[in-house]
């Protein structure tokens, strides 16, 4: 299928790509990174949120590890950090260094047991120290430090940082107790990433996947405690009682007022309607379209993705529930197609798995660079081998399968070409969407959904649509071949 061009009075740079991922959360670009263990951990979540999208942390790891990742994203950038990481003067600089590495921060305020500010220890204090057992109290920059009062305005904080040529401004109460921290880096990042998806406290937004089985409830509560913005009850078949019960319970208890709850995956009108009736704030659509999926072959089940999105959106739109089109996107042009079919955002796995910020190392094969990418229903992800326990089995309703050799895989393991930083990839993807909006004469995502119309093509049309009758000699940044 292709989108038909229509009369247009807008140029690509003028379109607005703002949309809703869930009822209460809007984002500036409609890109969501997939909760897969080769796609989204905290680095990816930070990177995609800075671009204006949103990352969903995968759940194939312990509750503590997943909650920690939410914390890392939340601390990565903030108007003000209200519970800064601190350290005691009796800790060693080795411990301080480890803490900085863990949270990717450059320094930590030093406090006593009553949270009174004693000093600050930064990379600069530690850089020339060769003995990691030295105590923080000995090497820190001691009080008096430049500090600000609680509630200081952003401009005043910036002035204090600039006047004193410092990078961190601890905020203290009249008794000298540490109450917050403002960092120069956060001001710089705000200027650099004007579209960043942020919560009301100025922290980057992040989502996380949970299941409905076993310790799923405990997991959901731990993620909420760390400040997650939305939870996705993420399974391969969302039109099941367990998923609907989990959503109802989340919506009826404390989460309802704090975070948005998305359910999935479904691929039919009835499936989407059931989720809407359970009270979801968003519906995730896709059974089997993913690049690594084998569900349609192994189980013979699924619905072509454009049809699935269209049918699900018929149930969601009247209820004001946004739709995420999950899986199957290969090129930037597929984003606009998903949106015209009825999605409000798209979820990406393979298109982001090759980025610097996805988990895993680069591998070189015949001089070319690749990164690992695997389905969450692949044997590798579902089997309990290796360091982490597997929570991926229950996404495919196989928690009761005792041994790995009895698992029924619904995905494959492989590798995708290295694609560079998320910033560059998102730029090309959103750039492609902007072109689509220009061609269809849509100034906003809503106009694209309303005005966009499809034309069905044949296999001859598909062949004509891709480059043909030429040998490609230079790879384009947004097209690597069919």
CB of 103 to ligand XMP, least distance (A): 28
CA distances for 308 relative to 10, 277, 466, angstroms:
30, 18, 25
Confirm whether 395 is a catalytic residue. yes
Q: Is position 119 annotated in a ligand binding site?
A: no
> For residues 21 and 376, which CB has a smaller minimum distance to ligand XMP in the complex?
376
Q: Please enumerate in sequence order all residues whose Cβ is within 8 A of that of 92, keeping only pairs 6 or more positions apart, or say none.
A: 132, 133, 134, 135, 136
What's the rounded Cα separation, in Å, for the pair 303 and 288?
7
How near is the Cβ of 216 to ligand XMP at its closest, in Å?
Answer: 18
Is 377 annotated among the ligand-binding residues? yes
CA torsion 99-102-105-109 (nearest 10°) is: -20
Residue 353: CB minimum distance to ligand XMP, A: 7
Is 207 annotated among the ligand-binding residues? no
Buried-exposed string 401-433: b where 16+ CB fall within 10 A, e elsewhere: eeeeeebebbbbebbbebbeebbebbebbbebb
Q: How far is the CB of 309 from ligand XMP (least distance, A)?
A: 13
What one-character-per-residue DSSP string does 128-183 give?
Answer: T---TTSBHHHHSEESS---EETT--HHHHHHHHHHTT-SEEEEE-TT-BEEEEEE
Pick 152 or 329: Cβ nearer ligand XMP: 329
Cβ of residue 253: shortest distance to ligand XMP, in angstroms? 26
Catalytic, out of 50, 395, 419, 434? 395
Closest to ligand XMP by CB, 395 vs 434, is 395
User: How many residues comprise the chain?
Assistant: 482
- Compare residues 60 and 69 and give the one whose CB is closer to ligand XMP: 60
Backbone angles phi, psi at 234, to 5 degrees: -110, 110
In the bound state with ligand XMP, the residue whose beta carbon lies nearer, of 23 and 296, is 296
Is residue 358 part of an annotated ligand binding site? no
Is the distance from CB of 281 to CB of 22 less than 8 angstroms?
yes
Q: Which of 293, 316, 419, 434 is catalytic?
A: 293
Does the active-site annotation cover 100?
Answer: no
Is 293 labelled a binding residue?
yes
- What 3-state class would DSSP assign to 232? strand
Cβ 348 to ligand XMP shortest distance, Å: 5
The reply, when asked if residue 396 is annotated as ligand binding, is no
Residue whose Cβ sits closest to ligand XMP = 411
Query: Token digits for 363?
Result: 């591998």
Q: Is 178 or 379 the residue whose CB approaches ligand XMP more closely?
A: 379
290 marked as part of a ligand binding site: yes
Residues lying near ligand XMP in the complex (CB under 6 A) are found at 34, 36, 265, 286, 288, 290-293, 295, 326-329, 347-351, 375-378, 410-411
The residues annotated as belonging to the active site are 293, 395
Residues in binding site for NAD(+): 234, 286-288
Q: List the binding residues for IMP.
A: 291, 326-328, 349-350, 373-377, 410
């Amino acid at each position: 299928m292709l989108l038909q061009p229509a009369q247009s009075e807008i140029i690509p740079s003028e379109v607005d790509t703002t949309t809703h991922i869930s009822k209460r959360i809007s984002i500036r670009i409609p890109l969501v990174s997939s909760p897969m263990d080769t796609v989204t951990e905290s680095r990816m979540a930070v990177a995609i949120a800075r671009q204006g999208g949103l990352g969903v942390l995968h759940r194939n790891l312990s509750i503590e590890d997943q909650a920690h990742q939410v914390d890392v994203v939340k601390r990565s950038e903030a108007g003000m950090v209200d519970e800064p990481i601190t350290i005691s003067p009796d800790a060693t600089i080795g411990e301080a260094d480890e803490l900085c590495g863990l949270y990717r921060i450059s320094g930590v305020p030093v406090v006593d047991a009553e949270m009174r500010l004693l000093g600050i220890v930064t990379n600069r204090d530690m850089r020339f120290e060769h003995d990691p057992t030295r105590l923080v109290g000995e090497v820190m920059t001691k009080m008096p430090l430049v500090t600000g009062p609680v509630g200081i305005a952003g401009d005043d904080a910036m002035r204090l940082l600039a006047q004193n040529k410092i990078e961190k401004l601890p905020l203290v109460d009249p008794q000298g107790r540490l109450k917050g921290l403002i960092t120069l880096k956060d001001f710089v990042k705000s200027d650099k990433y004007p579209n960043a998806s942020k919560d009301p406290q100025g922290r980057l937004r992040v989502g996380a996947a949970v299941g409905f089985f076993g310790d799923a409830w405990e997991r959901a509560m731990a993620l909420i405690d760390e400040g997650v913005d939305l939870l996705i009850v993420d399974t391969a078949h969302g039109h099941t009682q367990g998923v609907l019960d989990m959503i109802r319970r989340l919506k009826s208890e404390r989460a309802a007022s704090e975070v948005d709850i998305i359910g999935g995956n479904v691929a039919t009108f009835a499936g989407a309607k059931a989720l809407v009736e359970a009270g979801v704030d968003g519906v995730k659509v896709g059974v089997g379209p993913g690049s690594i999926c084998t569900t349609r072959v192994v189980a013979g089940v699924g619905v072509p993705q454009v049809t699935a999105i269209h049918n699900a959106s018929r149930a969601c739109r009247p209820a004001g529930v946004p739709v995420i089109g999950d899986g199957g996107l290969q090129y930037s042009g597929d984003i606009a197609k998903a949106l015209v079919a009825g999605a409000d955002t798209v979820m990406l796995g393979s298109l982001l798995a090759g980025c610097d910020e996805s988990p895993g190392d680069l591998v070189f094969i015949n001089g070319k660079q690749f990164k690992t990418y695997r389905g969450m229903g692949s044997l590798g992800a579902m089997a309990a081998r290796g360091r982490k326990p597997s929570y991926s089995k229950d996404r495919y309703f196989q928690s009761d399968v005792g041994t790995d050799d009895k698992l029924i895989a619904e995905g494959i393991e492989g590798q995708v070409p290295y694609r560079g930083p998320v910033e560059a990839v998102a730029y090309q993807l959103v750039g492609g969407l902007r072109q689509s909006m220009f061609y269809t004469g849509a100034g906003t995502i809503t106009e694209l959904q309303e005005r966009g119309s499809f034309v069905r093509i044949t296999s001859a049309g598909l062949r004509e649509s891709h480059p043909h009758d030429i040998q490609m000699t230079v790879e384009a940044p947004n097209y690597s071949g069919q």
